Structures are given as C-alpha cells and as structure tokens.
Structure 1
Amino acid sequence: MRHISRTIIAPALALACGLGTSPAMAQDAGDIQVKVLATAVLPDGKITDAPLLGPLPATTQTAANDNVVPTVAIEYFFSPNISLETICCVTQHDVDVVAGPLTGAEAVSNARVIPATFTLKYHLNPGGVSPYVGAGPTYFIWIKDEPGAQTIPLGVTRQSLSNELGLALQAGLDVPVGENLLVSLDAKRYFVDTTARWFAGNTKVIETEHKLDPWVLSAGVGFRF
C-alpha cells in the first residue's frame, strides 16, 4: 500500500486497538450515524482507449495524483445489521503524462470531483467491534477541470471530463469507544471511468478514455444519534 494510506490508517488502527475494550454501544433500527474521516483518494488515471489522439504520440500514457481530503459519512440503520451510507466530499486531482515523449507534462489540471456514492452495508457483531462489508452505486460529478499547461501550446483552449456511473465496494471496521462514539477504519474500491476531451475553440482535438478505479481509504471517528 502506498505511503499516503499508511499515514492515514496506522494511527487510527493503533487507537482502535487500544480502545476496543470500551463499553459497547446500543444499535437499533432508526439510528443515524455520522462519521468524520480523513480520506486518502488513490486513483489510477490510465488511458484505456484513445478515439482521437490528435497531436499526441500513440505511446502517450497518463496517471492521476493521490490526494487526502476530509470526508463526512452519514449512515441510517434499518436494523442492527443493515444500514445505508452516503458520503460527502470533494477531491482534487491532476493528470500527468507518465509514458511517451511528453512524459512529465500535465494533461489535466485542478480536476475536482464529487463522488456521489450510496452503499448498502452489512454489519457483523453489531454493538461490539463490528466488521462490515458494503456495495452500491456511485456517480462521479466533475465540477471543475482545466487543460494542463503543456496542452496549451498544442492549441487547446478548454477541456472536459465526463460524469459517469460506476460501482463501489466497501469493507471496514467500527470499534466502540463509548456509548455513542466509535473509531472507524474504511476501505472502498471504486470502478468507474471517464472520457477526457480537449478542444481548440469548438473543435475537439483530443479524446481519451481513462480508468479511474480509485482506492479510497479512510480513518476517523463516528457519532451515533
């Protein structure tokens, strides 16, 4: 696992192990749980298809940078074992060329995405140290993206990333540390793509399809109401 994920997960894991003997929380249908998390977003960004490379060499390949962002997760319990969770965050990424003659060039700058996600979760051992698994749909909404500086000399004036529907798989661990307080470790793997398009005026000059498929690793605290 990358260094950025160890920075987020390791301290919380130590805290969870140290506090795991605290009294268990009650967990009932109708409970609402809110988690405040530090989240490492580790996307791929690889080009999987290039319908229109335009001035780019055929050997061009890209990767997106990692980021750490604050996240809020809101969860509703239908029963002690079954819940529905959604998350709220915005994460920013650049996409750089990592293979081909343009290696090191920035292709996409300051791309910001809302990963609108709902997961249906199953909790083992509710009320105690509780592992869980989940799955559900996600919709990546790009609210801002700009052409990278090195694409401007190619005649690019604007750039866009397509909003796309995908799937999220989830696993994690909730450790009670008080009657209504817990420490949480969470891992999600997203499966979602996007199509990137670069324009010179109104003319599309480059179009590439990218695999995003980020790992999203979180650690933080939760409160139950």
Structure 2
Amino acid sequence: MKALHLPLAALVAAMMVPGTATAKSGGVQVKIFATYVAPDGKITAIKTDQIGLPAGTQSKADDNVAPTVAIEYFLSDTLSLETIAGVTVHDVSGRGALGGTTLVSDASIVPATLTFKYHFGKEGGMRPYVGAGPSYFIFIDEKPGATTLALGATRQKMGDKLGAAFQAGVDIPLNDRGFAISLDTKRYILRPTATWYAGRTEVLKTRHTLDPWVVSVGAALRF
C-alpha cells in the first residue's frame, strides 16, 4: 500500500457543517471515500521488443488503497452527474517467464471520470444507483522496474488513455441533515500502452488490459 496526499481538509470541514434536509430535488453531494483499486495489467500485445523478453512473459499490476473524493450534482430527483478526484500508485510485476520481477515502478494514475447516474428509491431513504460515463486515465512519473532496467531500459512511459467506467452503488442516509454512508463499485474498461526507452530509442512497447475494479466506502453530505 502506498501513501497518497490529497487536500481533503476543506472537504472534511465541510462534512461537519449541518446540512439541509435530504428530501429535496437538486443540490450537490460530496463524498469522501477509502477506495480499493484492483487493476489487471495483462499484456495483450507486444508491439516492439528489442531487449529480448523471454517467451511466455506476462504482467500484473498490483492492488492499492487510496483516498478519493466524489462531487455529485443532481439534475433532478433521479438523475445526477458525478466526478471523482484521486491518485492511485501501482507497480507492474512480471508473470510467467518473468515471475517475481518488476517491469514498471510507481506509476501514479489520475482517473479523470465523469458518470451519468440514475437513482432508485425515494429521497430520504436508501438510494441505490447505477451509472456510466467516460474516463481519461493520466499516468504520472512512472519509472522502469528493476528488471527492465537490467535488460537495458532507462526510461518508461505509460500512454494516457480514454476509456469507460460503469458504476453501481447505494447511499444510505444517517439522519435528515444530508449525512449518509455511501458504497460504490466501478468497473473501468481501459487498454493503455507501455513503452520503454534506452536513451531516446524505443526498445519495448506493449499493450495491456488494465480494467480495474474500484470499490469505495465512505461518508457523504448533501447540500
């Protein structure tokens, strides 16, 4: 599990301010989550290989837990738009012929996501929901792992990629002032590429199925 620093203090303070009643249309809901991120990372294609990967090489991204913040704007009683903010950090390890090795180190991911949600039930009660929308994954400050460094790579880059997110969850009210517990699950569909360089020369390029499951639990306040 890797550390993550987000400016959450202002949002935590906002959670302490008494809210208005939940039984109303419109409004904004802020959620603070602990989020478990479980990506795949499997290699689906090798585009360039000048460093001689062993036959049967495969990969897997490790799991992580990070804080995230969601801001949701209600268009009506049942329809809303939601965006999330957070950063999660992952290594990519070898499998198969390179089992136990590290291919990518400390790849920070910003999953810029906007979902359109439909809420069931009545305001003031338990509100299950489903949603879907686009997601743009931004990769920051990733580095070659120890194994790819040993094979001659000096620099590594994950390509930013547009994907999709599918979402389901439930908001469970705690009182009539807008406080709630929120449980949320997302499945992302994402096919990024990873490129390793020796100096400025591309020596390895692979395509991956990332497709993370993202499971969150936290507190919500609706204004």
Q: 1:154 aligns to what? A: 151
Tell me the SS of whatever aligns to 1:26. Answer: coil
1:68-89 alpha-carbon deviations (Å, 9 max, x no partner): 0001000000001000000000
Tell me the SS of whatever aligns to 2:142. Answer: strand
Q: 1:166 aligns to what? A: 163
1:34 is aligned to 2:30:
yes
Match of 1:110 among 106, 112, 116: 106
Question: Is contact 1:95-1:108 (8 Å) kept?
Answer: yes
Q: 1:207 aligns to what? A: 205
Give matches, 1:91-130, under 5 Å: 91-100=88-97, 102-127=98-123, 128-130=125-127
Percent identity among equivalent residues?
53
Q: Which runs of 5+ in 2 are unaligned?
A: 2-20
- Whichever structure has more helix as a proportion of its residues is 1
Q: 2:222 aligns to what? A: 224
Give matches, 1:189-200, under 5 Å: 189-200=187-198
Tell me the SS of whatever aligns to 1:58. Answer: coil
The offset of 1:193, in angstroms, is 1.3
Question: Is contact 1:195-1:210 (8 Å) kept?
Answer: yes
Whole-angstrom distance in 2 between the partners of 1:178 and 1:118: 28
Question: Between Structure 1 and Structure 2, how many residues are aligned?
Answer: 201
Whole-angstrom distance in 2 between the partners of 1:214 and 1:152: 26
Whole-angstrom distance in 2 between the partners of 1:218 and 1:117: 15
TM-score normalised according to structure 1 size: 0.87
Structure 1 range deviating more: 75-84 or 126-135: 126-135
**CA RMSD after TM alignment:** 1.2
Q: Which amino acid aligns with 1:67?
A: N
The offset of 1:139, in angstroms, is 0.2
Q: Which amino acid aligns with 2:218?
A: G
Whole-angstrom distance in 1 between the partners of 2:67 and 2:99: 31
Q: 2:134 aligns to what? A: 137
1:46 is aligned to 2:25:
no
Whole-angstrom distance in 1 between the partners of 2:151 and 2:58: 17
Question: Is contact 1:168-1:191 (8 Å) kept?
Answer: yes
Structure 1 segments (4+ residues) deviating >6 Å: none
Whole-angstrom distance in 1 between the partners of 2:211 and 2:73: 26
Tell me the SS of whatever aligns to 1:116. Answer: strand
Question: Is contact 1:113-1:144 (8 Å) kept?
Answer: no
The offset of 1:53, in angstroms, is 2.6
Q: 1:77 aligns to what? A: 74
The offset of 1:126, in angstroms, is 3.2
